Structures are given as C-alpha cells and as structure tokens.
Amino acid sequence: MSRLTARLSRAGLAAAALASTFAFLPAAQADGVVNVYSYRQPDLIKPVLDAFSAQTGIETQVLFLDKGLEERIAAEGANSPADVILTVDIARLAAAKDRGVTQAVDDDAINAALPAEYRDPEGHWFGVTKRGRVIYASKDRVTDTDISYADLADPQWRGKICIRSGQHDYNLALFSALIAHWGEEKTEEWMKGFKANLARKPDGNDRSQAKSIMAGECDLSLGNTYYVGLMMTNEKEPEQKDWANAINVVFPSIDGSGTHVNISGMAMAKNAPNRDNALKLMEFLASEDAQKIYAAEVFEYPASSGVEPSDIVKSLGTLNADTLPLADIAKHRKAASEMVDRVGLDDGPAS
C-alpha cells in the first residue's frame, strides 16, 4: 500500500473501495500529474484534457462520479487526492463551495479570460462554458418565435407547454434568475400561470420534451441549448435527429436583460496535493484554445466572450446572455425550490 493510500485509510476509507475507485492514487502526488474529480462524463472532457497533456506534459487522471462528489471529497478530508473539480450547474458549484471542499484561486490569467458574472466573487469557482435555458418551439405549429420567459404564462399557451421536473437543477436555476430579476411575488404569480399552461405533469428530460413536441403532445418546452447539438449529431440514436429537426430554438429574454444561462465550471479542491499542476490546468481551461475544444465537444458556448462557438452551436442562434452574476442567482435557489412545491408545479396543470 502506498503512503498516500495509507493516509486515505486513516481518513476512514476502506482499502477495497480505494482499489476499485481510486486506481490513480499511487501516483496522486507524483510530479506531472493532476487529479480531476468530475461530474462530466469522461468522454466529454477527454479531448480538452488530452490537449492539456500534449501542451504541458502533465498527465490528467479522472475520477467520474454521477453523484456525491462533494461528499466524497469531504469524507477524504486533508488526504484527498482531488486537485480540480469539474461539474455543471451553478447549484453544484455553489454546493461545493458551501461544503468547504474548494479553495480560493486569484489568478490574473483566469480572471482576465472569464467574465466576472461567471466567477465566484471569492474565487472558489469559475465558469468555463455556458448554455442557454431556451425555448424549444414546434416548427410546424409555432410561427411566433419572439417569445419571452414572461410570455410562457400567457393564456394563449394554455395546454401547450411541456417541461421536465420543476425541481430539476436546470429549471431551478431559471426560476432563481426570475426571482433575482422580478422578486418572489411576481415570480410566483408567473409560475401559477406557467403551470396552468402545461400540457401534462412534468416528466422526462430535456431531450424527451423535443420528442413530445415532434409527437404533437405540446408546442413549447424549456431546454438547454447543448441538448439540441447532441440530438443533431446523435449517430447511436438517429431518431433524435428527427426530434431536433422538429423544433426551433427560441432565445427568450428576461424583460430585455437577455437569456438565462447556466455554466459548466471548475474549482480547485481544498487540499489539492498537486496545486501548481491544478492551477496550470485551470489556466488552460480558461484559455482560448481550450474553450474552443471544450465548448465544441459539449455543444456549449465558450464562457469567454472573445471565443467563437462551434459551427453547430452557431447554427442554433445568437445567445445574448443575461449578465446578472450567477452567484446572485444561486442565492435564490432555496426560494425557487420552495416555490415549485408551494405552487404545485410538478403536480401538473389540473391540480
């Protein structure tokens, strides 16, 4: 057993678990290594991590988790091998900071590359790519594509909107943004009208809403921009291309402030054993070259305004993003979640 593994055992992690899920630990403190804990699928981040290794000679070793990342790092404590955290959604980035598993980074290159609205004011997390929370609109049945978020509560759309759960992080982030702009009272009135316009009880994921639009079950839905790119290029499930072809992407605005965006982001782990290498990776991810590679791979918009999105992403339309700082939006997540329950959004329109 390596010295690092021994220390992890003393932190309360079983040796069997280490063997199965931390295959990279014996090298965790070796020179030329950076350990990444990721909520993003390994195949999505591999191209940009490979480019980093090719440029720097630093090896990246990735532990993918689909849940419990913050809890895992907290349990490992001071002996955690985690250097960099990669995740999606402002709520998860804020949760990592609140859990105390990140550390502040004040780096001129990163701060210059990434707009302030996509950075934690205290430097605990940084947005790398962004996605709009947009409207999927039926190409066949919706002719008006100048639709705002406020319009989704208009009775003209009664029985014509489908969404995934209102408690999903992506919807909660949007509702949090509306609260930040409108206040709780106005947002709750809007949500009641929005609920009344639902075609059915919220269900499925973003892609399945596009499928429902193609099937004629609804005319509008909320969805992230990158899912359209994923559907357009899906060779394993080519029927998803038909779902994408059935919709137009509408970029709604919050009272002229722009389209709500969420991010994929990065943070430095609190006890990063390879801090210098971790900082190099974070600087690279903020760079123009990496932003182009990463954003193209995941069909998202680069966080830096000076970097062009991929051709597929450009084809979706121009994203005029709301510039309200995401840290301010994240403050309203609890209120948004309570509002969803209070209004009964997930119960559907008939409740």
The string of pLDDT tens digits covering residues 30-79 is: 469 999 999 998 988 999 999 999 999 999 999 999 899 999 999 999 99
Q: Which residue has the higher pLDDT, 218 or 41?
A: 218
Mean pLDDT of the chain: 91
Give the per-residue pLDDT at 144.
Answer: 87
Complete DSSP assignment for 223-243 = EEHHHHHHHHT-SSSTHHHHH
Phi first, then psi, for residue 62 (nearest 5°) are -115, 130
Three-state DSSP class for residue 300: coil
For residue 288, what pLDDT is reported? Answer: 94
Confidence of residue 12 (pLDDT cuts 50, 70, 90): very low
Domain boundaries, the chain: 3-129+262-316, 131-260+319-347
The amino acid at residue 320 is N
Two structure tokens written together for 143: 């002719």
- Is 294 annotated in a binding site? The answer is no
Predicted local distance difference test score (pLDDT) of residue 24: 43
Q: Is the model's pLDDT at 320 over the cut of 60? A: yes
Q: Which CATH architecture has domain 3-129+262-316?
A: 3-Layer(aba) Sandwich (3.40)
Q: How far is CA 323 from CA 70, 110, 131, 159, 253, in A?
A: 28, 18, 13, 32, 11
Nearest by Cα to 60 from 52, 72, 70: 52
Q: Which residues contact 76 (CB under 8 A, 6 or more apart)?
A: 8, 11, 13, 82
Q: What one-character-per-residue DSSP string does 273-284 give?
A: TTHHHHHHHHHH
User: For 70-126, what is each residue's pLDDT tens digit?
Assistant: 999 999 999 999 999 999 999 999 999 999 999 999 999 999 999 999 999 999 999
Q: Is the pTM of this model over 0.85?
A: yes
pLDDT tens digits, one per residue of 156-171? 999 999 999 999 999 9
The average pLDDT across 135-153 equals: 96
Residue 14 has pLDDT above 60, yes or no: no
Taking each helix axis from N to C end, the angle separating 169-182 and 90-98, rounded to the nearest 10 degrees, works out to: 90
Residue 118 annotated as lining a ligand binding site = no
Is the pLDDT at 4 greater than 60, yes or no?
A: no
How crowded is residue 197: how many other Cβ atoms within 10 Å of its Cβ? 21
| Cα gap 9→19, rounded to integer Å | 11
* pLDDT tens column, 242-277: 999 999 999 999 999 999 999 999 999 999 999 999
How high is the pLDDT of residue 31? 60
**Domain 3-129+262-316 shares a fold with domain 131-260+319-347:** yes
109 C-beta neighbours (distance < 10 Å), count: 13
Kindly report the CATH number that applies to the domain delimited by 131-260+319-347.
3.40.190.10
